A and B are shown apart, each in its own frame.
Chain A
Amino acid sequence: MQINRKTRQQLDLLKLLVKKEVTLRYKRTYLGFLWSLLNPILTGVVLFIAFNIFMRFEVENFALFIMAALFPWTWFSASVTMSANILTSNVSLIKKVIFPKHFLLLATIIAQLVNFIFSLPVLIGLTYLYGSAPSLNWLIGIPVLVLIQFVVIYGLSLLISIANAFFRDLEYLVNVLISLLFWMTPIIYPLEAVPEQFRSLLVLNPVTYLMQAWRDLFFSNIINWHNIFISMITAAVVLIVGLLVFKKLDRKLDEVL
């Protein structure tokens, strides 16, 4: 009974924080929630024009090819970028109310996940447009990849959010690193397009396999267990590091906020 009530309360708290995050972000705009969808779509259109029309990249079904990795990437990059100032922008809450701080991180990641899920119909539409269709593999692949990517983002968010409280430069550094990572990840180009001698460098990038796995699923309709397995290991490592650093720095957090 006691345990049940506590769990209920924690779930309620998480739910309310997610709801707040989803509804308030675009509160005073005209297009509102639609912005979270328009953002990656417009980015995709820009990339399509630049690389397909102007630079004539020879990739089949280029629009689907980009979007298949761009939507999951948007979930990743938006959450990680936002995580930097989640603790530093909720000072009054953290210093005056006792509650689990990591819920603020979870709420942001879940809110961004909601955006990602709302972008799936666009992907489905694109598959039909290119004369293909979503397969049953999606039903297995999507939950598995969502789970792995969730863990990767959460681990990174723990690390970045608390580190940024101690040196605020990180917030700006993260912005730069994320856009660097975008170009270092096979999103607008296939991994095979990278010259052999550089490919091993790209493989060091923790999200290469993850984005590849998403594209294998959405673009080629296959579940690439090899990529998924490597992503799982990455996720576990990132999570453990994140948890350890968060726990270590949390003791001194009240001094720097």
Chain B
Amino acid sequence: MIKAENLWKSFPMRRDRPGLKEFVVNAPKYLKDNTNRFWALKGVSLSVKKGESLGIIGRNGAGKSTLLSLLLGVAKPNEGSIEVSGNRTPLLELGAGFHPDLTGTENIIINGVLLGHTEKEIRERLDSIIAFTELGDFINMPIRTYSSGMQMRLAFSIAIHTSPEVLLIDEILAVGDESFQRKSGKALMNLINGGVTTVYVSHSMDAIKKTCDRAIWLEQGEIRAQGETGLVVEEYLKAQGGSGGGSDG
């Protein structure tokens, strides 16, 4: 279950980072200064019930990723409250937490533990995680030798095998090849049908329509529309000039 109310989030807009001297002299100003700030989110509220999946769409810079990082808890809102119950599993960025010089297997273990599991729990699931990736002998190679699609296979496989309760996904799935996209899509649907709460950010309207019960359209940090996925997507595409292949779904 996710419940977020009136989220505001801003970032400092400064052309140059202050140097040490400047910082020390103006320390109170830099620590307090709220004037030149870019507001990435302006009063966004949302709630996702347990087992529901919410799609978030919008143009680049609309605040989608900021919203996800607030829901994940790696960034804190300036205002507003967030309540998330359940073990949060992010699928945000390729290779976040992966070390290029470690092998696939070593990365699975360290990543699994970073996601909040004990080493023993991960080792018990190691075989099924590796099997799902279909990486073969590559699993024992340093992941700097992997293509981005292969890294995504690894990240996705870890995430779905670590009993997620709340999945936060940012676009990542678009990287894989056709067959893995089908496979991961199916695995994702299984999780969602099995009661996992999902927030899914994507520019692929087809993926959003396939996966999500509801959708939110973000524009310039505010919710422009929300509701049943098909309707929101249609409205969004219309506003973008009707281009793109999403209208055939």
Contact = CB atoms under 8 A, between A and B. Distances in A.
A and B form one complex: yes
Interface of A: 5, 8-9, 12-13, 15-17, 20, 24, 27-28, 92-99, 166-170, 173, 251-252, 254-256
Contact of A97 (B20, B115, B118): B115
Given A95-B96, A96-B96, A252-B31, 11 more contacts: A9-B113, A13-B114, A16-B109, A20-B99, A24-B101, A92-B96, A92-B97, A97-B74, A98-B88, A169-B19, A169-B20
A24 B102 contact: yes
Contacts of A17: 110
Interface in B127-147: none
B12 interface: yes
A13 B102 CA distance: 16
17 contacts: A8-B118, A9-B113, A9-B116, A16-B113, A20-B99, A92-B93, A92-B97, A95-B75, A96-B74, A96-B90, A97-B74, A97-B96, A97-B114, A99-B116, A167-B19, A168-B17, A254-B76
Q: Say whether chain A's binding surface is mostly helix, strand, loop, or mixed.
A: helix
Interface of B: 11-12, 17-20, 23, 30-31, 69, 72-76, 88, 90, 92-93, 95-97, 99, 101-102, 109-110, 113-120
Contact of A20 (B30, B90, B110): B110
A170 B69 contact: no
Which of A5, A8, A255 has the most chain B CB atoms inside 10 A of its CB?
A: A255
Contacts of B115: 97
Interface of B: prevailing SS: loop
Given A96-B97, A97-B97, A16 B20 contact: no
A28 B102 CA distance: 12
Contacts of B102: 20, 24
Contacts of B72: 96, 98
A222 to B, nearest CB: 41
Contacts of A94: 74
Nearest to A173: B20
A99 B18 contact: no
B11 A255 contact: yes
Contacts of A252: 31
B172 to A, nearest CB: 11
The 9 closest A-B pairs by CB, nearest first: A96-B96, A254-B75, A12-B119, A169-B20, A96-B92, A92-B96, A9-B118, A167-B23, A8-B118
A30 to B, nearest CB: 16
Contacts of B69: 95-96, 254
A24 B102 CA distance: 8
Contacts of B120: 8
A99 B114 contact: yes
A166 B24 CA distance: 11
A176 to B, nearest CB: 12
A27 B100 CA distance: 11
B175 to A, nearest CB: 15
B99 A166 contact: no
Nearest to B68: A96
A93 B97 contact: yes
A207 to B, nearest CB: 22
Contacts of B109: 16
Contacts of B93: 92, 96
Given A20-B99, A97-B96, A254-B69, A9 B90 contact: no
Contacts of A96: 69, 72, 74, 90, 92-93, 96-97
B43 to A, nearest CB: 19
A98 B168 CA distance: 12
A178 to B, nearest CB: 16
Contacts of B12: 255-256
Contacts of B74: 94-98, 254
B96 A93 contact: yes
Contacts of A93: 96-97, 114
A120 to B, nearest CB: 28
